[in-house]
Amino acid sequence: MSEFKYRRAQFFAQMNKNSMAIFPAGSEKIRSNDTEYPFRQNSDFYYLAGFNEPDACLLLIKKTDSQKAILFNRKKDKSAEIWHGYRLGQSAAVSELGFDKAYQFEELQDHLQKRLDGLTTLYFPIFQDANLDKTLATVINELRAGRRKGKVAPTTYIDSLSILHEMRLIKSTSEIELLSAAAEISAAGHICAMQKCHSGMWEYQLQAEVEHEFALQGTRDAAYNSIVAGGENACVLHYTENNCQLHDGDLVLIDAGAEYQGYAGDITRTFPVNGVFSEFQAKLYQLVLDAQISAISQVKPGVALLDINKSVIKQLVDGLLELGVLQGDSDTLIKNEAYKEFYMHGIGHYLGLDVHDVGDCGSTENPRLLEAGMVVTIEPGLYISSAADVDDVWKKIGIRIEDDVLVTEFGAEVLSADVPKSINEIEALMADAQQHG
């Protein structure tokens, strides 16, 4: 509770006087007819409220002499709780979560109508939540319409997320612990996949092994839809169909991460279905691995991910030239972006409550520099589809190697280091598993 209260205090400190900030929770989404997808809380709301039920809203109200954190949440309801599950209710929201007041969710609009009257600044996630936008339009237009009766609508509207996402970008000690746990559980899932993989298996069966291990390690959720892509399927960057058989002689790319107490792991490993890299697979794999290791070695405060990516591009292009996959002059190939046929995504992204976590990245001309406390992924890859104009030996190979990296004061710490990535280590792990059944 103290961490969430501390974050609310940090947000209050950045609010104008005489203002309100609104943070809506997530709502349940229908999967089919009357069944829902598993509920996942809105990350911004969770970061400040620490509350995991749908249909809720947090108000922070700052006046000259007071600041109040008020939760609106579902009311206790015996029948709903018998059918669907426990609800915290209002009095426990105050005693257990430390809000100053809690009211029923249904009362939100009435409270906004009363409490916004006379405040000058309103912070909310502008254009992010259609229901909230609509409610606010009604409430604020009513205040405007009542101006001759002494009602006063806010005149300054600020996107609350610009402040909040800057807070979320730099992780606290306890967030780093949760991200480390998510990375460790994710690593265990990848190790298990290497141990269980064999030709003839279906991609979704290997996915089940990864996610089964997540559950055994203490978390039931994946942070995003797992990608298990055999052979050429790995050339589809966000392949999630996972419905093909794995073939002897192919590589399989697994991009999967556990979500632990809301925090995401995001690991990719690529390994041979039969446990042994072929000559050409090994050459491309080693090139990606060398680029990934050198990228990680560049992670430290003051460096931009964009600049790390430039050095990765140079390394990949030079390697592809050496292997004969690309022909020509390195600088020209880079200038013409010829590498984009084989490496078409960025080097990585922020990681946190969201797998592609929030936070300002700067612009191409003026990129954001890394700071201690940020957590990023480093995930170069090479993808050579059957349509590529290269020698057949290189075709149908997709490789990505992705780790989760904490930026520390002087450098970096790899949170996902438990899962092997060198050719020797992967082959040894798989051989051992094959031998011992």
Q: Which residues contact ligand GLY by CB under 6 A?
A: 224, 255, 266, 349, 355, 379, 402
Q: How far is the CB of 200 from ligand GLY (least distance, A)?
A: 26
Which of residues 211 and 402 has its CB atom nearest to ligand GLY in the complex? 402
- What is the DSSP track for 211-249? HHHHHHTT--EESS--EEEEGGGGGSTT-----SB--TT
Choose one: 122-130, 252-260, 272-280, 304-312; the region binding Mn ion (CB under 5 A). Answer: 252-260
Helix (H) or strand (E) holding 89: helix 89-97
For residue 343, the one-letter residue type is Y
CB 99 within 8 A of CB 93: yes
Number of H helices, E strands in the chain: 13, 19
The interface partner of residue 213, options being ligand GLY, Mn ion, none and the CB cut-off 5 to 8 Å by kind, is none
Which of residues 24 and 381 has its CB atom nearest to ligand GLY in the complex? 381
Which active-site residues does the annotation give? 34, 238, 255, 266, 345, 349, 356, 379, 383, 400, 402
Longest dimension (CA), the chain: 84
Q: How far is the CB of 254 from ligand GLY (least distance, A)?
A: 10
Give the Cβ contact number of residue 344 at 10 Å: 12
Q: Which residues make Cβ contacts (< 8 Å) with residue 291, sequence separation at least 6?
A: 312, 315, 316, 319, 380
Chosen residue from 44, 209, 255, 403 binding Mn ion by CB under 5 A? 255
The interface partner of residue 354, options being ligand GLY, Mn ion, none and the CB cut-off 5 to 8 Å by kind, is none
Cα–Cα distance between 433 and 437 in angstroms, integer? Answer: 6
Q: Which residues make Cβ contacts (< 8 Å) with residue 13, sequence separation at least 6?
A: none
- Considering CB under 5 A, how many residues would be counted as binding Mn ion? 5
Nearest residue to ligand GLY, by Cβ distance, number only: 255
Q: Does 354 bind Mn ion (CB under 5 A)?
A: no
Which of residues 194 and 355 has its CB atom nearest to ligand GLY in the complex? 355
Choose one: 79-87, 96-104, 145-153, 266-274; the region binding Mn ion (CB under 5 A). Answer: 266-274
Q: How far is the CB of 16 from ligand GLY (least distance, A)?
A: 36
The interface partner of residue 224, options being Mn ion, ligand GLY, none and the CB cut-off 5 to 8 Å by kind, is ligand GLY
Q: How far is the CB of 266 from Mn ion (least distance, A)?
A: 4
CB 256 within 8 A of CB 186: yes
The interface partner of residue 67, options being ligand GLY, Mn ion, none and the CB cut-off 5 to 8 Å by kind, is none
Is residue 330 classed exposed, middle or buried when 0-12, 13-18 and 19+ CB atoms within 10 A define those classes?
A: middle
Choose one: 46-54, 107-115, 193-201, 262-270; the region binding Mn ion (CB under 5 A). Answer: 262-270
Chosen residue from 266, 357, 403, 404 binding Mn ion by CB under 5 A? 266
Q: How far is the CB of 254 from Mn ion (least distance, A)?
A: 9
For residue 143, the one-letter residue type is L
Q: Does 377 bind Mn ion (CB under 5 A)?
A: yes
Which of residues 262 and 275 has its CB atom nearest to ligand GLY in the complex? 262
Which of residues 203 and 379 has its CB atom nearest to ligand GLY in the complex? 379
Which of residues 62 and 349 has its CB atom nearest to ligand GLY in the complex? 349
Which of residues 259 and 266 has its CB atom nearest to ligand GLY in the complex? 266
Q: How far is the CB of 351 from ligand GLY (least distance, A)?
A: 9
The interface partner of residue 270, options being Mn ion, ligand GLY, none and the CB cut-off 5 to 8 Å by kind, is none
Q: Does 203 bind Mn ion (CB under 5 A)?
A: no
Three-class SS state of 122: strand
> Which of positions 390-409 make contact with Mn ion (CB under 5 A)?
402
Cα–Cα distance between 230 and 244 in angstroms, integer? Answer: 7
Burial 287-320 (b: 16+ CB within 10 A, else e): bbbebbbebbebbbbeebbbebbeebbbbbbbbb
How big is the CA angle at 261 (ends 257 and 263), to the nearest 5 degrees? 45
CA nearest to 384, candidates 278, 245, 271, 232: 232
Q: How far is the CB of 31 from ligand GLY (least distance, A)?
A: 22
Which of residues 53 and 402 has its CB atom nearest to ligand GLY in the complex? 402
Helix (H) or strand (E) holding 263: strand 263-264
Binding site for Mn ion (CB under 5 A): 255, 266, 268, 377, 402
